[in-house]
Amino acid sequence: MTTLVWDDWNREHIKKHKVTIEEVEEVWKDYNLIAKSYLGRSMIFGRTKKGRLLTVVLSYLRQIRPYVVSARNMSYKERKVYYEKTN
């Protein structure tokens, strides 16, 4: 599987949302749902091993491997769609 691109900026950015690199990697390895976002980005939705539901925003704009733009808890609306599509 392709590895994610990490740098100082995105490491610090996900910390603001209280998300760890390990959690993002867990979701990346086993995400359940994907959606297109603005600027050609993709959003993946998945659950960590501890059960946390995350939305991870990825960009392929300037590189081949996916660059983590953001990661955060799923919103209420996203959780609703996630449960409808995965259950």
DSSP per residue over the chain, as a string? -PPPB--HHHHHHHHHTT--HHHHHHHHHT--EEEE-GGG-EEEEEE-TT--EEEEEEE-SS-SSPEEEEEEEPPHHHHHHHHHHH-
Q: pLDDT per residue over 6-62, tens digit each?
A: 999 999 999 999 999 999 999 999 998 999 998 889 999 999 999 999 999 999 887
For residue 80, pLDDT over 90 is answered with yes
Q: What are phi and psi of 18, to 5 degrees?
A: 60, 40
Tokens, residue 29: 């390895």
pTM of the complete model: 0.92
Q: What is the pLDDT of residue 76?
A: 98
